[in-house]
Chain A
Amino acid sequence: MYGIVAMALVAVFAVAFLYALHRAVNVLAEPLTVLPAQSGWLPQEHALSRFHARWYPASIVFLAFDVEMLFMYPWAVVVAEEGMTAVVEMFLFLGALLIAVTWAWREGVFRWV
């Protein structure tokens, strides 16, 4: 565990070092404020807005399937001991999920443009 903490510290130190080095050698430390890049045109509105993520049905399907990983990881550890029953149970479950995904696919969940 300490190894991970040490590594995180090294990474934070590296980032801090880069920022400090940048501060020392760049042309002016204070950041410049500019307009967003739009080929030189003035922006008509702020870009921070309610973005229309058209793939939201796919994200719902993802969430449903992703929760399954909660079972999959512990299952992977014990499957060798539990034997065939565990394999059958898990893959019946996964099969059911995949059938649901296929249904969602036919409904056009993975196409949005």
Chain B
Amino acid sequence: MPESGMVIAAVGWAGVAGILLCALAYVAVTLDAVLSARQLGVRGGWTAPLSRAARLLRQRQRTTVAADTLLWRVGGAGMFIGAFLIVAVIPMGRWVLADPDVGIVWFNVVDVMVWALVWLTGWGANSTHSLVGGYRFLAHGLAYELPLMFALVAPAIAAGSLGVGDVVAAQDGLWFVVWMPVAFLVYLVGVTGFSVWGPFAPALAADIAGGVLAELSAVDRLVFQAGRYLFLVAGAAFSVPLFLGGGSGPVLPGWAWVLVKTVAVLAVLVWLRRKVPLVRPDRFMEIGWMVLLPAVVVQDLLVSLIVVSGG
């Protein structure tokens, strides 16, 4: 671990990292609410995260007849917790909470867990709308997950390591996004996928009355929805060490650059949500397998050829 130049921060910093993560999610909610309000021709939206959270905290919990309550709640709370697990391996400049040899695989493990979490949230409610929503997400997962995995492999090939710290170190001078743009884009598609965000939100869409969200109320809804935003933030933040050179940049300290880059990626993802229509799973399945997957495999091939010939 030390050869990557990362400094393992004291575990006490976990609290700070958690607050930072929540703050970024707060920014994302605000941005989305302000953009929505502006598009409808009204002002406001600036206090949206506060008032929405207050509303849900005040609301009474609710369970449906013969619901699978345990699994249902596990799904919602799991979404909230999962994002924190990703953030633990994201370096802020030189500092990181944990830099395991297999940081990228760890990220992959957590993002696959989302399959179960979203599906459980849909299943547990014992309601047809949410059940359909839960299965819609699985169908999406089948299509976005493999391209995402191959996109994650590209930086690992270039760095010759699955450790996030090593990947950052390997980008000294040239960011990976420059010579693996396809992997970067496919990675962002994956991030929107596991955040059930924007085009990948048919599982929560209006046509099935909110799908997975249809029966969620009060704090259960709050943790699930917050979890989605937290995953969006964690996904955006993980793209920084993976493709955007980590903390490298002039003037500002490393950790500040990580924040700036994260917010930039996050803003793009939030902004795109309003522009891109829903990508229904039955339409996306072919795209995922026949376009994204071959494209990112070719990207991996190019990366490994460059590495082998250059190294």
A touches B in complex, CB < 8 A: yes
Chain A residues with a Cβ under 8 A of chain B: 1-12, 14-15, 18-19, 21-22, 25-29, 31-38, 43, 46-49, 51, 53, 55, 58-59, 61-62, 65-66, 69, 72-73, 76-81, 83-84, 86-87, 90-91, 94, 98, 101-102, 105, 110-113
Kindly identify which residue among B14, B60, B96, B135 contacts A32, using a CB–CB cutoff of 8 Å. B60
Q: For A94, what are the chain B residues with a Cβ–Cβ distance below 8 Å?
A: 297
Contacts of B290 in A (CB 8 A): 101-102, 105, 110
CB distance from B81 to the nearest CB of A (A): 4
Identify B64's interface contact among A3, A36, A49, CB under 8 A.
A36
Contact residues in B for A37 (Cβ distance below 8 Å): 127, 129, 209, 214-215
Instruction: Choose among B81, B162, B308 the residue that contacts A15 (Cβ–Cβ < 8 A).
Output: B81
15 new A-B contacts, CB < 8 A, other than A4-B100, A47-B126, A72-B150, are A2-B11, A3-B8, A6-B11, A6-B97, A7-B17, A7-B98, A8-B84, A11-B80, A49-B131, A73-B105, A80-B157, A86-B308, A87-B304, A110-B290, A111-B282
Given A8-B81, A79-B157, answer yes or no on A22-B218 (Cβ-Cβ < 8 Å).
yes
- Nearest-neighbour CB distance to chain B for A32, whole angstroms, equals 5
Interface residues in B150-191 (C-beta closer than 8 Å to A): 150, 153, 156-157, 160-162
Q: What is the total number of residues of chain B having a CB less than 8 Å from a CB of chain A?
A: 83
Do A7 and B85 touch (CB < 8 A)?
yes
Known contacts A26-B58, A46-B66, A79 near B149 by CB under 8 Å = no
| Bound Cα distance A13, B93 (Å) | 26
Partner of B65, one of A34, A65, A83, A112: A34
Contact A48 B58 (CB under 8 A): no
7 A-B pairs with the lowest CB-CB distances in the bound complex, closest first? A3-B97, A3-B98, A36-B127, A11-B84, A6-B14, A22-B219, A7-B88
For residues 96 through 118 of chain B, which have their beta carbon under 8 Å from a beta carbon of chain A? 96-98, 100, 102, 104-106
Q: Are B18 and A7 in contact (CB under 8 A)?
A: yes
Is A31 a contact of B304 with CB atoms below 8 Å?
no
Residues of A within 8 A of B215 (CB): 36-37
Q: A91-B301, A98-B293 are in contact. Are A31 and B60 (CB under 8 A)?
A: yes
Q: Which of B18, B66, B128 contacts A10 (CB 8 A)?
A: B18
**Minimal Cβ-Cβ distance residue in B for A1:** B98
The reply to whether B128 and A38 contact each other, CB–CB distance below 8 Å, is yes
Q: CA separation between A47 and B131, bound complex, in Å?
A: 7
> Contacts of B89 on A, CB cut-off 8 Å?
3-4
Q: Which of B104, B125, B135, B293 contacts A53 (CB 8 A)?
A: B135
A105 to chain B, nearest CB (A): 6
Q: Is B289 an interface residue when CB atoms closer than 8 A count as contact?
A: yes
Assembly CA distance A9 to B61 (angstroms) = 24
- Does the CB pair A12–B60 fall under 8 Å? no
* B138 interfacial by beta-carbon distance below 8 Å: yes
Please state if A34 and B64 are interface contacts (CB–CB under 8 Å).
yes
> From residue A62, how far is it (CB to closest CB) to chain B in Å?
5
Stretch at the interface among B139-147, B235-243, B247-255: B139-147
B18 touches A11 (CB 8 A): yes
- Inter-chain contact B123/A1, CB cutoff 8 Å: no
Q: Are B293 and A7 in contact (CB under 8 A)?
A: no
